[in-house]
Structure 1
Amino acid sequence: MISSPEGDGVAPDAEREASSPSDAERAPSPAAAADSARSPSATAAQRDEPAALSAPVESAEPGPDPERLRARFGRPFEAGDVIFREGEPGTEAYLLEEGRVRLIKKVRGAERSLMVLKPGDLFGESALLGGAARSSTAIALSRGVALALDQGTLQNLVERNPAVAMRIIKQLVGRLRDAEDQIEIMMLTDTQSKVVNALLKLAQHSRATGGAASNGASFAISPMELSTRVGLDVDTVKRAVQQLREGQYLRVADERLEIPDIEALRRLFGLLGLKDEIRGEQ
């Protein structure tokens, strides 16, 4: 203990009294008393609470894990397999992961192609309507995998993942646009006009998505896909495409079409329309 210097006028007892805390100071505060009265479990819960509150919001709604989705919902198929048939109850929607699938519909006993699906496409959306009958038949064109999602699973996936919902909306809007294009094509009478009109629509879409040259366009499409768009058989479409190649309106390489000059093809479409009008007046 360090003593006070002489002559400071402070007695040792008084000094000890002054340096000791008072009874009021020794008494715990109400908050401290409440803390000391807490049970160990309550204290542990308090320690855990900040960690839960500080967790990032994104961790509460993680995006879908592709591997987990495939392991749980994946349905493999081989070329020629029928995934579902027209008229069956639609209990599941399918998200194509790998391969290609063709949708066909019977009209007066004849099969008509509706579309050819690629990875990323959703099909069999009748499952969203709670078991409505399938409006078409889905046939695999190659080996692949599709995710089979029932109504509840698909609804949960969409609600928890806005990106998935937006992807589906964009696809449905695209199909509506394609349906409108097909109606326009069906109103045309000659084969060449149908094919040229479909190519102009595809070129317009390619340019809108950035896949175009300065005055042309390039896009991947198979003869079957093109025949589906125009409502003609594959051989007829191939002949029309060959005529366009001979006229240098079109180039073909590895199921990819290149239109070097869109305006030239558009002028050809106008001439075909004029020719059809003249034929109708005769």
Structure 2
Amino acid sequence: MSNLSANKGTEAPILFKAGTVIFAQGKTSKYLYLVKKGEVRLMKMKGNSLNVIQLCGERDILNEVAVLTNKPNDLTAIAKTDVELVLVDQKEILSVIKNSPKWIPDIFETLCERLKHTQDMINEHNLDQEKDARLLLNKEDERKYLEALGNFNSDS
């Protein structure tokens, strides 16, 4: 992932071109991402297809649960448009948490567990059936995203 090599954990936004995989379901990631510009689709593989879970834009935070729990991603993030992201290194976040009052890590852990549980319940019970049209993928986009995801997974 060449976008990350020169600017690890910097406050300067990094450009990800439309169609670029930012992080992938089942893989670990060491960055929390702050969206400065553009749109990112958060998706989940179900069988052989991708389902869009959320469309993220300016000021949204991506990958917080995986970074704070140090577990593999439950979702895949792919740039819908060209997007500028600020990367925050997991080590920096964990250092801040470690140096804060002792009860802060417990709060983060509880919040992450609740968020994960809520996401799982929504998916399990199909509570997102009435999807926003912006969340629907056409066959061509899905094909491109699956190809990009395959390339991403083979590179890492």
How high is the TM-score relative to the length of structure 2?
A: 0.57
Distance 2:124 2:47 in 1: 22
Shift of 1:106: 0.9
Query: Which of these residues, 110, 127, 136, is aligned with residue 75 of structure 2?
Result: 136
Aligned partner of residue 76 in structure 1, secondary structure: strand
**Structure 2 residue corresponding to 1:152, chosen from 77, 81, 91:** 91
Tell me how far apart the structure 2 counterparts of residues 120 and 78 of structure 1 sit (CA, whole Å).
Answer: 18
The alignment's C-alpha RMSD in Å is 3.6
State the distance in 2 between where 1:157 and 1:80 align.
33
Deviation at 1:120, TM superposition (A): 1.1
Q: Larger Cα Rg: Structure 1 or Structure 2?
A: 1
Distance across 1 between alignment mates of 2:124 and 2:27: 30
- 2:53 is matched by which residue type in structure 1? L
CA distance in 1, matches of 2:93, 2:85: 13
> Closer, same or farther in 2 for the Cα pair 1:158/1:75, shift >3 Å?
farther
Q: Measured at CA, do residues 181 and 139 of structure 1 come closer, stay the same or move farther in structure 2, by a change above 3 Å?
A: same
1: distance between equivalents of 2:72 and 2:42? 15
Rounded Cα–Cα distance in structure 2 between residues aligned with 1:99 and 1:113? 16
Q: Please tell me whether residue 127 in structure 1 is matched to residue 67 in structure 2.
A: yes
- Report the equivalent of 1:107: 46
1:80: how far off? 0.8
1:59-78 deviation digits (Å, cap 9, x = unpaired): xxxxxxxxxx633xx32111
Alignment partner of 1:104: what SS? strand
Structure 1 unaligned spans of 5+: 1-68, 189-193, 199-221, 228-232, 235-282
* Cα separation, 1, equivalents of 2:56 and 2:127: 25
- Deviation string 1:171-227 (CA, Å, 9 cap, x unpaired) is x79x94x84994697369xxxxx53xx7xxxxxxxxxxxxxxxxxxxxxxx6223x5
**Which residue type is aligned with residue 70 of structure 1?**
E
Deviations 1:136-171, CA, capped at 9 Å, x for gaps: 2110011121111122222456789xxxx9xxx8xx
Other-structure match for 1:224: 134
Alpha carbons of 1:119 and 1:156: their partners in 2 closer, same or farther (altered >3 Å)?
Answer: farther
Percent identity, please.
Answer: 24
Cα displacement (A) at 1:99: 0.8
Give the letter aligned to residue 23 of structure 2: F
Task: Report which of the two has the higher share of helix.
Answer: 1
Q: Give the SS at the match of 2:22.
A: strand
SS at match of 1:79: coil
- Counterpart of 1:146 in structure 2: which amino acid? L
Does residue 70 in structure 1 map to residue 7 in structure 2? no
Distance in structure 2 (CA, Å) of the matches to 1:106 and 1:92: 21
Q: Which is strand-richer, 1 or 2?
A: 2
2:11 counterpart letter in structure 1: R
Structure 2 spans left out of the alignment, 5+ residues: 1-9, 139-156
* Bigger relative contact order, structure 1 or 2 (CA pairs below 8 A, ≥6 apart): 2
- Counterpart CA distance in 2 for 1:88 and 1:117 is 20
Q: How far apart are residue 95 of structure 1 and its match?
A: 1.3
Q: TM-score, normalised by structure 1?
A: 0.34
Distance in 1 (alpha carbons) for counterparts of 2:120 and 2:23 = 26
Partner of 1:95: 34
Query: Which SS does the other structure have where 2:14 is aligned?
Result: strand
Provide the rounded CA distance (Å) in 2 between the counterparts of 1:128 and 1:187: 26
